C-alpha cells in the first residue's frame, strides 16, 4: 500500500529527471555486454536497441502489464517480485549484470512479475516481438537467449533451495552463500559486501517473518560466522557458513547446534556478554 505510493512517487521523480530516457544503441552493445566472443558485428550494429537508466525504487515493469521489451541488465541490481491479490509481495529473486528480465513473458505476452531497481541501474531493451526473428538472424543472440533461459531456471532452483531449508538460520545461510558466490562471480569480495535489499525483502525471499531475519542474523553473528551492521555483511567463517547452509533436517547440529546452548567456546567465542545492547559482536561497534 504505502510501498506502492512510494513507488509511484519515485517513478514520477525519475520521469522528471530523465523522461522515459531510452537512449538509442544497437544489438552490438547488447552482445558485447553478454560477453559473446565473436559475432557478426555489422549485422548486430544494424539492429537497434535501447538503453535506459533507473534510480533506486524505480519500476522497470509491472506484473500483469503487456510485455513489450526484453531487458538485459547492464548494471545495478533488480528485485523481482510477484504480488498476491491481497497485496502480499513475494520476492522471487534478484538480478544483476548480464541477467535477463522479462524472458518468462516470451510465451504469454505479459510480465508475470514486477522488476524494481534496488540501486542505480541501467538496462538494454530489445522489443519483445522482434526477439524470435532476431534469434533467427543472429545465432549469437540465440545462444545468449538459451544460455540465459538455462541460467534463469537454475536461479529459480536456488530460491527453491532456500525455501526448502527447515530452519530460518539455514535459509539465511544459504541465501548469504548464494550472494557471496554471486559477488565472487562479479569479481567482488566474497566475504564483505553490501546487501542492496531491506530486511523485509530478504524475509520474503526466505519465506520467513522479517523479525526472524533479524534474529537469524543475530544468531549467525553469535556463532562467529559473520558480523553484520545494517546491510553491510562480513563473513568471518565462510566454510562454517557453507557447512551450515548444507545442513538439512535436524543434522544441522554438527555445524550449528553446539554453540546454541553451550557458551560456544569452540568457535573462537568472541561473545563475552551475550546481551550488551545492540551489536555485541557486530561490525559497526569495531
243 binds, among a copy of itself, DNA, none (CB under 5 to 8 A by kind): none
Exactly one of 152, 229, 258, 264 binds DNA (CB under 7 A); that residue is: 229
Tell me how many degrees the CA angle 152-155-157 measures, rounded to the nearest 5.
115
Q: Tell me which residues in 157-186 interact with DNA (CB under 7 A).
A: 166-169
Residue 131 within binding range of a copy of itself, rule CB under 8 A: yes
Which is nearer to DNA, 139 or 278 (by Cβ)? 278
The helix (run of H) or strand (run of E) holding residue 42 is: helix 41-46
Exactly one of 115, 123, 208, 245 binds DNA (CB under 7 A); that residue is 208
Q: Does 37 bind DNA (CB under 7 A)?
A: no
Residue closer to a copy of itself (CB basis): 83 or 214: 83
* Cell of residue 91, nine digits: 520476492
Decide if residue 1 touches a copy of itself (CB under 8 A): no
Rounded CA-CA distance 130/134 in Å is 6
Does 209 contact DNA by CB under 7 A? yes
**Contact yes or no for 149/101 (Cβ under 8 A):** no
Give SS3 for 187. coil
Q: How many residues bind DNA (CB under 7 A)?
A: 32
For the bound state, the minimum distance from the C-beta of residue 236 to DNA, rounded and expressed in Å, comes to 16
Among 75, 112, 152, 218, binds DNA (CB under 7 A): 218
Residue placing its CB nearer to DNA in the complex, 169 or 242 = 169
Q: Where are the beta strands (DSSP E) in the chain?
A: 22-26, 48-54, 59-61, 69-75, 78-83, 89-95, 100-101, 114-117, 121-127, 192-194, 226-229, 232-235
**Backbone φ, ψ for residue 207 (5° rounding):** 75, 35
- Options 4, 6, 15, 164; binder of DNA; rule CB under 7 A: 6
240 phi and psi, to 5 degrees?
Answer: -65, -40
102 Cβ contact partners less than 8 Å away, ≥ 6 residues apart:
61, 67, 69, 70, 71, 111, 115, 128
- DSSP characters for 82-130? EE-TTS-EEEEEEE-TT-EESGGGTTTSB-SSEEEESSSEEEEEEEHHH
Q: Which of residues 20 and 84 has its CB atom nearest to a copy of itself in the complex?
A: 84
φ, ψ dihedrals at 133, nearest 5°: -65, -40
Mark the segment that binds DNA (CB under 7 A) among 70-78, 119-127, 150-158, 204-212. Answer: 204-212
From a copy of itself, DNA, none, which one binds at residue 150 (CB under 5 to 8 Å depending on kind)? a copy of itself
Q: Are 213 and 206 in contact (CB under 8 A)?
A: yes
The reply to whether 4 sits near DNA by the rule CB under 7 A is: no
Which window, 35-43, 100-108, 189-197, 235-243, contacts a copy of itself (CB under 8 A)?
A: 100-108
Q: Footprint of a copy of itself on this chain (CB under 8 A)?
A: 82, 84-86, 88, 90, 92, 103-108, 112-113, 131-132, 135-136, 139, 142-143, 145-147, 149-154, 156-157, 159-161, 163-164, 204, 207, 246-249, 251
Applying CB under 7 A, the residues found at the interface with DNA are: 2, 6, 166-169, 198-200, 207-215, 217-218, 228-231, 249-250, 275, 277-279, 282, 284
Amino acid at each position: 500500500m504505502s510501498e506502492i505510493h512510494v513507488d509511484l512517487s519515485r517513478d514520477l521523480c525519475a520521469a522528471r529527471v530523465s523522461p522515459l530516457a531510452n537512449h538509442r544503441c544497437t544489438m552490438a552493445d547488447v552482445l558485447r555486454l553478454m560477453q559473446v566472443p565473436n559475432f557478426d558485428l555489422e549485422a548486430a550494429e544494424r539492429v537497434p536497441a535501447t538503453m535506459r537508466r533507473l534510480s533506486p525504487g524505480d519500476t522497470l515493469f509491472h506484473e500483469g502489464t503487456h510485455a513489450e521489451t526484453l531487458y538485459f541488465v547492464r548494471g545495478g541490481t533488480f528485485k523481482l517480485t510477484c504480488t498476491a491479490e491481497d497485496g502480499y509481495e513475494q520476492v522471487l529473486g534478484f538480478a544483476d549484470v548480464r541477467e535477463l528480465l522479462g524472458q518468462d513473458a516470451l510465451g504469454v505476452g505479459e510480465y508475470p512479475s514486477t522488476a524494481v531497481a534496488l540501486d542505480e541501474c541501467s538496462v538494454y531493451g530489445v522489443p519483445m516481438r522482434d526477439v524470435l526473428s532476431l534469434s533467427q538472424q543472429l545465432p549469437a543472440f540465440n545462444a545468449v537467449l538459451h544460455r540465459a533461459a538455462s541460467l534463469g531456471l537454475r536461479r529459480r532452483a536456488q530460491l527453491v533451495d532456500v525455501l526448502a531449508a527447515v530452519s530460518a538460520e539455514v535459509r539465511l545461510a544459504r541465501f548469504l552463500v548464494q550472494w557471496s558466490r554471486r559477488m565472487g562471480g562479479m569479481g567482488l569480495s566474497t566475504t564483505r559486501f553490501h546487501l542492496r535489499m531491506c530486511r523485509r525483502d530478504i524475509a520474503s525471499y526466505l519465506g520467513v517473518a522479517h523479525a526472524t531475519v533479524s534474529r537469524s542474523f543475530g544468531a549467525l553473528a553469535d556463532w562467529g560466522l559473520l558480523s553484520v551492521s545494517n546491510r553491510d555483511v562480513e563473513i568471518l567463517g565462510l566454510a562454517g557458513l557453507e557447512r551450515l547452509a548444507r545442513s538439512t533436517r535436524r543434522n544441522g547440529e554438527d555445524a550449528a547446534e553446539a554453540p546454541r546452548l553451550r557458551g560456544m567456546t569452540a568457535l573462537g567465542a568472541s561473545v563475552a556478554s551475550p546481551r550488551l545492547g545492540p551489536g555485541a559482536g557486530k561490525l559497526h561497534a569495531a
